[in-house]
Amino acid sequence: MARRMNATETAVAAAESNAPEQKEAEEAKGTVEPKRTQQKREKRCNAGFYCYIGPNLKKLIQTGTIFRGTREEALAKAVAAIEAQPLVKTLIVSGDALPAARIKVKTPGNVLYANYRTLAGKEGNHG
């Protein structure tokens, strides 16, 4: 037996069905942030720092090196290591992602683990 919706449930259902159109209209008016702006905000590191979680690379970069600021600033500070070993870039993670990334780098079956192992094997070959 089907249950009848009350007025509040009907209003909520109607709002949810119109949500995509309403959001687009509000974006056009400028009352809601466009999706691109929201995506940039989500990519921003709330912790305010980035950390290198790869192996030590003599004369280039050490494990645990902290870079304050944005990702672009962190990559700029690590440019010598990135030029010598491009995989270094993939092992510079945001402070927000650091706890999970430290586990992933030690767990087989993911990109961080593979990149760490590749760099560790090339350690003596960077020049």
**27 or 47: which carries more pLDDT confidence?**
47
Q: Are residues 52 and 112 in the same domain?
A: yes
Neighbour-count burial for 63-99, b at 16+ CB within 10 Å, e otherwise: eebebeebbeebbebbeebbebbebbbbbbbbbebbe
Domain membership of residue 20 as a residue range: 7-42
Q: Are residues 38 and 51 in the same domain?
A: no
Q: Are residues 84 and 109 in the same domain?
A: yes
Q: What's the confidence (pLDDT) of residue 6?
A: 58
Full-prediction pTM beyond 0.85?
Answer: no
What's the Cα-to-Cα distance from 64 to each of 15, 51, 54, 67, rounded to whole Å? 48, 6, 8, 10
pLDDT of residue 126 exceeding 80:
no
pLDDT of residue 121 exceeding 80:
yes
Per-residue pLDDT tens for 44-70?
A: 678 899 999 999 999 999 999 999 999
The residue-averaged pLDDT of 108-124 equals 88
pLDDT of residue 107 exceeding 50:
yes
Q: Are residues 30 and 71 in the same domain?
A: no
Q: Are residues 56 and 112 in the same domain?
A: yes
